Structure formats: structure tokens, C-alpha cells
Structure 1
Amino acid sequence: MKKTLSTLLLAVATVFVLGSCSKKLRPLHGDNVKVEPQMLEVVAGQVPAKIHVTFPAKWFPKKAVLTITPVLRYNGGEKVGASYTFQGEKVYGNDPVVSYTHGANATLSFSAPYVPQMAKSKLLLTFGLKGSNKPIADLEIAQGVIATEMLATAQVAKVALAPDSFQRIIKESYDASILFQIQQADIRRSELKKDDVQDWKGLVQQAKQADNQTVSVEVQAYASPDGGQKLNEKLSEQRERNTTKMLKKEFNKQRMSDIAIDAHYTAQDWEGFKTLVEQSDLQDKELVLRVLSMYSDPEQREREIRNISAAFSQLADEILPKLRRSRLIANIQITGKSDQEIKEFLDKAPKELTLEEMLYAATLVQGKEQQENVYQLISKLHAKDYRAFNNIGTLLYERGALDQAQVYFEAAKNRQNNPYSNINLGLIALSKGDLAQAATLIGAGSSVPEAAPALGLLYLKQGQYAKAVAAYGKTISNNAAVAQLLNSDYGRALSTINALPQPDATSFLIKAIVGARTNDSTLALSSLKKAISMDSKIAHLVSGNLEFAKFAGTPEFAQLLSSTSTH
């Protein structure tokens, strides 16, 4: 943000350079120093500045050695930057030389980790002249630090809750196959006695008798691709008819005559043929598959495949017999416990619930304390599962107990390296300023939805605001709005804040900064008023905040602060 502090930069501060060759004292003026940015601002948790110094012509004594040190002073402390030493033309040394006749330009770099007290601070240049014990006055070059970046915090980021896999309606499908001899449709007794067919019939009967299950049956009959289209169509139809008749007879014996059978047939099972070839170790497998892809006409396909004599012999022995079949399909639907039933079991007999039902039950209870109690119970009954430990950590995180939350996230990760706990530990690392560790952990949790906003916050804290905005995408949060604000996407930041379902005091403070940066005094002051009414501590953040420097001398701003101070 480019603003001019004319009163600051035009102020004359006198620096007495007392070199042995000086015949008179000469001041170094404030307009000989330019600070970039003119208003210091937190970027990636640091307060950086480039300080451009112009040494005027005939100012720097030829035998002088001058050291300049940037210092940021604030209530209770100071941060001292790197010192820069310059020498006159007649000094023997290795420091940059300043010409007496022409002067020189120099750039000093300064950076310090931000602390909240720096919001009200002064950036000074301090001077030391070699060989002189006489103090030289400091030169004030900037006031205050804009700390808007710090409004985005890991503490309000969305943590990742490990989900349950509870399904009230579970759909399962079971298959068995009855095989036929070549060009035959009769069902052999040996096929009915096969284990897979007997097991299939048992599953159907069990589902039919269960109170919480329903079952439906399909028959799909096929013929292998060898043989003519008409022959195969007639053959597959007969197989379907015989299979359906057999099933109805079996169901009648088991008193399941009301089970409907949905029957179909396919004349030439080319799809099944392709699947079996792909799964085989057929010598000319790729050649056969190429024929299938090149020709769509069934008769031409058959001719071309038969021409591959060695392959066709193997096909006839290993592949085609598996395609002469009727496929039996049992579609079973299992209905689980209702929400009310789960609640009742949770109160009276929690051990009767499955792990997934218990995890789901935690989402049904009212209040965070009760929810934590359920997760604590799960952690004891199912101590090897990571999810309850992770989810206890999320509840602790949300109430600000980050150290305790970290213990549970690590306990979850020790049980199973999972993306949810990685994301949450990444947020913990962000809250501690460990950006490298945060990047590793967030990367390891990239598969979960919460990864995007966590990555957005990481980029924001790295000072990469455009990347942060891209990572946040359509996320609606204060942190996302801060990223957009710092990226100068003011309209988008305002839209994000307006879309928040429950805006808080920080939301309105962000909105006020948007107003200030876009010269909308009505938006800025009304939003500030709302922010302070929601949290009186905001008034302290606003007083002296350079984001609102243009309003500092106005009666409206003064009235706003004075009226809130009486609450």
C-alpha cells in the first residue's frame, strides 16, 4: 500500500558527522532517506524494509568511517537490524566508499519477526562515527507496522474430522455361475451341487428370512462368441429359460416363491470374452485384443480369431467354456439401525454397537461435551482405531487447547498414518510458526477436503498471497478473505465476508480494512462500529492502526473510538 507520510519524511533530523577533517557540522535530512514500503507491513510473519539512503555531495568526510544500523523500537523492546559501515575516500579499508565530491547512494535491508507491540513502533537509523565519543541523534524514518496479515490465524482454521463409514442402507451383490456344455442348454446336476451355487442359494434364503434385509434375483444367460449369431441367440435364450425354471423350483421348495426373477440373455458374450482374454496368459493375447478393437462385426471377429490357429486352440480350451453360462445375481439390501435405535443403544448398551455405529452416534448427540464423551468411550472400546483420537483432538483444537489437541492428533497418527491427523498437525505447526513442518504435514494430508484451506493459510503465512487465494478457491472464511485482501482482490474479499453465515468481530474488521483501502469511508466506519460493538478489544487494534491513517484526524473516527471506550 503506497501512502506518503509527508510530515515524517520532511522532518529534519540532524546527524552530526564529526570526522577529523570536518570543518563544520552538516545535517543529514529525512528527505535523504526513502523507505520501501513507506508504511511497514507484515509479510510472511516478518517486518521487511528496504532503506534507500542518499549521501549528498560534499557531505561525507574523506577520513570518516560511519556505521548505520536500522532499529525498530516499540513499547517494551526493540529489534536491531544488520549494521552497514561506509568509509571516506582517504580511509584504508574494505567498506563501501562514499565520494566526498559526488556523494553516493546505498540500500540497507531490514527484517524482523513481528510481535504485536510493533503495531505502535518507530523505525530508526542509528549512527556511529569511528573515533568520536559524541552521540549522534537517531533519524526516525517510519512509524508503525500494518499487521493485517496477522488477522489470519491457524486457531480459527477448519480442522479435519475423521469420518465414520456408517451406512444405513447397504447394498451387496453376490454372483454364482452355472456352466453349460458346448451347444447345450440342459442344466447338469453337478452344476447345482457346486459350492458357489449352494452358497449363493444360502445367502438368498438368509436375506429372505432376515427382518432387516430384502433380496432380488437376476438371471443373465450367455453363449460363447463361437458359432453363428442365430444359433447363439437361440441357445442363450434356452439357457435363460431353463435356469429361471430351475430357480423357481428351488425357491418353491424353500418357501420363497414370492422372490421375483429378472431374466435376460445375451447371444454372444464378447464383453466377457474380452475380459477373460485380458486376464489370461494367452500367447497371442495382444493380437486377439487387437482383432476385437479393429472389427465390430461378430462374424468377421470370429473369422479373424479362428485364423490365429494356435491362439484359437487355447481359447477353445480355456476361455470359451467359461462363457457358456447362466449368471445368478442376488442383490441384497441391508437396512441398519435408525438414529433413534442408535441413540438408545448408546445410552443402554454401547458395546452392542459396531465401531462405525458408535462413530456415527457421536454426530447425533447434542453439545461438544457429550460428543467428546462418546469419542472417549470409543477410544477405550476400540483403542486401535485412530479416528476417535483424532476427533477428540479437533474438539480440543476448537476450544483453543492446542497443546492438548496435538497430543491426541499424534496418538491418532501413531495408530495409523492418516491424512486427517496430518492436516491437523500441520495447522498446529502453523500456529507455532513452523512453516517447513506445516508444509510437510499438509502435503501428507492433501487427499482430504480441509487440505485446500490449510494450504491457503500456509501460502498466506509464506507471503505468497496469489497462491493463497488460488488454494482457498471458493472457501468462505475470515482467513480466505484476508488472503484476498492482501492480494488486492478487494471485491472478492468483501463478497467472502458478506457470504459468511456467522460473521464475527474480525469479519467486520476485515470489511472495514477493505473500505479503507478502497476509499469507502462509509463502509470502513460502519464496519468498524459493528466490529467494536461485537468485541471492545477491536478498538485497541484500531487506534493507531495505519490501515485507518486517513481517518485518524476525522471527527467521525474520533467519535467512534470515544463512544466505544465508554462501554
Structure 2
Amino acid sequence: MNKKISLYVLVGAVALTGCNKKMQDFAAEHFTTNPNPLEVVGDNVPGTVTANVPQKFFKKNAEVTVTPYLSYGMDNKATSQSYTFQGEKVKGNNPVINYKEGGTVTIPVNFVYTPEMMKSDLYLDFNVVQGKKVYTLPAVKVGEGVVATSTLADATTVTPSAAADKYQRVINEICDANLMFLINQANVRASELKKGTSVSNFNETVAEASKADNKEIEGIHVSSFASPEGGVKFNAKLSEKREHSTVNYLNKNLKKEKVDNYGDITSEFTAQDWDGFQKLVSESNIQDKDLILSVLSMYSDPEQREKEIRNLSSVFDQLAKEILPQLRYSRISASINTIGRSDEEIAAQYKADPTQLSIDELLYAATKTDNVNEKEDIYKTAVKQYPNDYRAYNNLGMAQYVKGNYNDAKANFEKAASLNPNSDEAKMNLGLIKMMNKDYNGAREAFGSAANAEGINEAMGVYYLRQGDYQTAAKAFGDSKSNNAALAQILNKDYSAAQSTLEAVKAPNATTYYMMAVVAARTNNEQAVYANLRKAAALDASIKDRAAIDKEFANYNVANL
């Protein structure tokens, strides 16, 4: 009897010991990380770790809390959110792992990226609560390194939007006058040439232009007309006579005024000015003008038109008095160019005395140099001389942004926006500042209200890159040939397009060649990897340090470029 009792006690003790036995250690082969290595998306390093728990592994009374963390640099550690799983006998609301069958659980991970994370290790910590016992299991390494290629997206390389100058070297103006004739006559009357008439003013303008050093008369044109009554044949001859008499008068007057630099006098005549007739009637207060206009729309033959309008006896007398006399004329037009300063003259004037330059000449002058320091000096001059023109502040901020002076650039963009709240250029440029400061909501709002700004597509492309939306970024860049555009193509795995874009970059820099090396690595072109990394390192020695820890080049010996 005592022997049986002892046997029962022994069996119970063994059973109790089995229930309280600690969980065995997890191993790396229990976990799969995706992606591995992790990749930067926007400002974060997201991913998932899938745990494949084997059969008869997870204790029924165990509760395991898993904490992912990245270990990097000198004792730096970034932790992700913890997740808890439990055995089937634990009372709780966490996902359950069956002891007999095992199971699969997914652990999301996410870290705020810092550059040191490129060289890092991903671990999982395990804290176990099993009955009254609380203990830890050894951490397990489940990943190595962070691919940071997406961080090559660079808002500082986006050229801010410039407010355009309105400078035109050649400004064309048309000076014209109407020489009126009496009914059925083609002679030029003295009353039409008196001082103060449109013809007299025309003559004075042409004479002054011929003597001015900065003006050029391209040519003079004469168009002669007859009013639409009296028959087409008769009016054709009449308007032709008016053409000849007007041209003869002009030739005599130009000779008298000693104007000989006017190019050519061209001329034409129109038998009946139905277009002018329709315009004058539609603008008049004639009671039956709608009836007259309907006749014009019903008949295209000029003889029929004249006949039908004459039949409108109630209004024809009014037409003959108010409308038809205005259609017996020759229009004289002179095309006159005003010639502004040449590029060389503007540059010389800026050195001698910039106060003599207009705001548009100053803004234009800045576009004629590629030296950003010279641009900044010119824009500072523009701000000083024209403190109420938003374009001067915006473009000064643009030059400062390119130089990396972001605080001053921001101040000038803000000043431009205060002077012109509707300026698309200032809105976009302030959006760039916001994006640099990781104020992505503010950047999105700024870009959304700057749809017509030059360079907005490039800015939006970088914004979408920073959001991890690579397809939309590629669409925003369109046909842009920039490092940022190529990066969008790389992240979309369109390597052929990325290579073409990088080869077309006008001023390739270290980043350009570094991206070419990334494309080469992803397409297994070993020779191009080394060649492009050497070019990049020649332009920026710090590239060597990045390449040495970049998982893009994990299969290449890039430590000694």
C-alpha cells in the first residue's frame, strides 16, 4: 500500500515538474524577416518578422512578450512596439499558440531612421511569464543592416521656383490711325491731316521713332475699305483708289519728314467692309439691330445682303447716317520696335550704377550668370532698390537656398509671400523648407496651392519619395532628368529607365555616380559598380564610408575603393 502511494507521489511530481518546465530557447531558424535587410521608407524603417513556432514548443501556461530592437553604433538601441503571445491555458486576449500543433505569428517592426542604422542588427528580446515564474530567454538575431537608398531623396537639390522677370529686349507696338473718306470719294482731305487728328498723331509718332536710337520701324501697312452699299464692283474700284491715294500721301509725308528707315509700305483693299459693318451694328443702339444681324447671318452673297438691308426702309436711313460713314476709310498701321539694353549693356550698367536699371532688368541680369554668389548680390540690389516687389525677395531666397543658407532663404520666401500672398513661387519654396524640416503636412498644403510654380513637379516627386509612395513619385517627375527622378525609378525597380535618367543628368555629382553604382549592383554589373563608386568617391570622399556599410554592395568588396 505504501509502495503504491509512493508511486502516485512520484508520478505527480514528474507531472508537476513537466508543467512548470521553462520554455526552451528560440533559435534564428524560427524567424523570417521581410525585408531582410530592412529598408528605409520615408523617415521610418518598417518590416515584419514572422515566427514559425514548432510543434510542442510553446508551453500551454506561458505568456511571451517579444520586443524587437535594432542595435547600432556604440551601444545604441532602438526598440519597436512589443507584442505578446500566449499558450492555450493562459487567460488573456493575446494571440494563442497551440502547444501540440505550434503556429505562425507575425510581429510588425518599425523604427525611426537615423543614418547609423545602416550598420545594425535586428534582434528579438523575449520576456516570459509562466505561472508564477518570470524570466527572459536569450535574444535572437533575425536581421542585419538597413538599406537606406531611399534616403538619397534630397529636397535641397530641388531648384526653388524663380519669379520670372518681364524683361524684353524688343518690345513691339502697333501705332495706327484711320484716314476717313467721304461717300464715293478717294481723295485725301486736308481736314483729316490737321494737328490733333489720328493721322497727325500717327505721323508724329513715326517721325519720333525714326529719330530715336532705341526704336526701329519694322514697316507700315495700309488697309483700305468701302462701306457695303453701291455694289461690289464699284466699291472694289473705290477702295482700290483709296488705297493708292493713302499710299501716295504716306510716301510724300515720309519724305517731307525725312523718315527713310521705315522698311516697306505694304497695302491691300477690301471692296465692302461687312465685318466692320457687323461689328458696328452689334455695338450700336439701333432699335432693329437684331433684325439686321439676322440678315447678315442668312445671306453670304454681298449683293443679296445689300438688297435685303436696303429693303429695311425703317432703319436704312439710320444706318446711312450712323454706321456707313465709319466704313469709308484707310487704316494706317506702323509696327515699331523699342530696343532695350543688350546683355552686355545691362551688365555694364550694373557695374557702373545699378540704380539706373529697372527691376526687370535686374532680375534678368541675374539669370545671365551661373555664379550663385553673383546672383545673390544682384538680388540683394534688387531688394534694396525695389523693396515692394515680391520677386526680388523670392529670388534672393532662391539663391540663398541653393547656397545652403536655409534660414535666410526662409525669411525671404516669407517676405515674398507677405507682399504677394498669391505667389505660387513663394508657396512652393516655403513648401521645400517645410519638407526639409519634415513638416510633410505643411509641405503638401504648400505644394497643393502652388500648381503653376516652375519646378512644382520635381518638388512633388521628392515629397512622394519621402512618403514612400514611389509609383506616384515617378509619375510626378515625368521626364525629369535628375537624381531624384532616377531614385524613384530605382525604388520602382525600373533599372533601365533609372540608368538612362542618370546618364542624362546635366551636371552629374557624387550622388549621380553612387546611384549608378546601385543600379549596377542590382543588375549584377560588377565592373560598373566599382567604376561608378570610384567616380563618386573622387567627388565626395565620404562616399567611401557609406559604401562600405551599404547593404546594396554586400556582395562586393568596396572597402578599398
TM bin, normalised by shorter chain, reads 0.7 to 0.9
Matched-pair contact (CA < 8 Å) for 2:155–2:436: yes
1:277-322: CA deviation from partner (whole Å, max 9, x where unpaired): 7767888989987887786554566677789999989877766554
Structure 2 letter corresponding to 1:212: N
Structure 1 letter corresponding to 2:222: V
Q: Which moved more, 1:110-119 or 1:262-271?
A: 262-271
The equivalent of 2:470 in structure 1 is 465
Q: CA deviation at 1:327?
A: 1.5
**Could you say if the C-alpha distance between residues 355 and 23 of structure 1 is closer, same or farther in structure 2, counting changes exceeding 3 Å?**
closer
Give the 3-state SS of the residue equivalent to 1:393 in structure 2.
helix
Report the Cα distance in structure 1 between the residues aligned to 2:288 and 2:476, rounded to whole angstroms: 49
Report the Cα distance in structure 1 between the residues aligned to 2:281 and 2:17, rounded to whole angstroms: 94
Matched-pair contact (CA < 8 Å) for 1:20–1:64: no
Structure 1 letter corresponding to 2:119: K
2:382 maps to which of 373, 378, 381? 378
Report the Cα distance in structure 1 between the residues aligned to 2:487 and 2:65, rounded to whole angstroms: 39
Matched-pair contact (CA < 8 Å) for 2:40–2:46: yes
Structure 2 letter corresponding to 1:388: A
Matched-pair contact (CA < 8 Å) for 1:121–1:145: yes
**Could you say if the C-alpha distance between residues 183 and 44 of structure 1 is closer, same or farther in structure 2, counting changes exceeding 3 Å?**
farther
**Could you say if the C-alpha distance between residues 222 and 402 of structure 1 is closer, same or farther in structure 2, counting changes exceeding 3 Å?**
same
Q: Does 1:211 align with 2:213?
A: yes
Q: CA deviation at 1:246?
A: 3.6
Give the 3-state SS of the residue equivalent to 1:561 in structure 2.
coil
**Could you say if the C-alpha distance between residues 526 and 132 of structure 1 is closer, same or farther in structure 2, counting changes exceeding 3 Å?**
farther
Alignment of 1:425-440 (within 5 A): 425-440=430-445
- Percent identical: 41
Alignment of 1:550-565 (within 5 A): 550-551=555-556, 557=557, 560-562=558-560, 564=561
Report the RMSD for the aligned CA atoms in angstroms.
3.4
The equivalent of 1:201 in structure 2 is 203
Alignment of 1:123-134 (within 5 A): 123-130=122-129, 131-134=132-135
The equivalent of 1:231 in structure 2 is 234
The equivalent of 1:52 in structure 2 is 50
Alignment of 1:55-66 (within 5 A): 55-66=53-64
1:52-95: CA deviation from partner (whole Å, max 9, x where unpaired): 23333433333333222322332253332222223333333333
Q: Unmatched 5+ residue regions in structure 1? A: 1-17, 552-556
**Could you say if the C-alpha distance between residues 19 and 99 of structure 1 is closer, same or farther in structure 2, counting changes exceeding 3 Å?**
farther
Q: CA deviation at 1:329?
A: 1.0
Matched-pair contact (CA < 8 Å) for 1:295–1:301: yes
The equivalent of 2:408 in structure 1 is 404
Q: Which moved more, 1:310-319 or 1:438-447?
A: 310-319
Q: CA deviation at 1:207?
A: 0.9
Report the Cα distance in structure 2 between the residues aligned to 1:528 and 1:343, rounded to whole angstroms: 42
TM-score after normalising by structure 2 = 0.85
2:535 maps to which of 530, 534, 545? 530
Q: Does 1:332 align with 2:336?
A: yes
Report the Cα distance in structure 1 between the residues aligned to 2:112 and 2:296, rounded to whole angstroms: 67
Bigger Rg, which one: 2
Report the Cα distance in structure 2 between the residues aligned to 1:289 and 1:353, rounded to whole angstroms: 53
**Could you say if the C-alpha distance between residues 349 and 536 of structure 1 is closer, same or farther in structure 2, counting changes exceeding 3 Å?**
closer
Report the Cα distance in structure 1 between the residues aligned to 2:269 and 2:162, rounded to whole angstroms: 47
The equivalent of 2:7 in structure 1 is none
Alignment of 1:112-261 (within 5 A): 112-130=111-129, 131-180=132-181, 183-187=184-188, 191-193=192-194, 195-215=197-217, 216-225=219-228, 228-256=231-259, 259=262, 260-261=264-265
Report the Cα distance in structure 2 between the residues aligned to 1:111 and 1:281, rounded to whole angstroms: 77
The equivalent of 1:108 in structure 2 is 107
TM-score after normalising by structure 1 = 0.84
Matched-pair contact (CA < 8 Å) for 2:25–2:137: no
1:78-137: CA deviation from partner (whole Å, max 9, x where unpaired): 332222223333333333333334333332322233211111122222222235432222
Q: CA deviation at 1:492?
A: 1.7
Structure 2 letter corresponding to 1:211: D
The equivalent of 2:496 in structure 1 is 491
Give the 3-state SS of the residue equivalent to 1:60 in structure 2.
coil
Structure 1 letter corresponding to 2:101: H
The equivalent of 1:9 in structure 2 is none
Q: CA deviation at 1:513?
A: 0.7
Give the 3-state SS of the residue equivalent to 1:128 in structure 2.
strand
Q: CA deviation at 1:183?
A: 4.7
The equivalent of 1:477 in structure 2 is 482
Structure 1 letter corresponding to 2:95: P
1:546 maps to which of 536, 540, 551? 551
The equivalent of 1:421 in structure 2 is 426
Q: Does 1:442 align with 2:447?
A: yes
Matched-pair contact (CA < 8 Å) for 2:42–2:151: no
1:254-293: CA deviation from partner (whole Å, max 9, x where unpaired): 3436645322112233444565577678889899878877
**Could you say if the C-alpha distance between residues 186 and 456 of structure 1 is closer, same or farther in structure 2, counting changes exceeding 3 Å?**
same
Structure 2 letter corresponding to 1:137: P
Matched-pair contact (CA < 8 Å) for 2:372–2:403: no
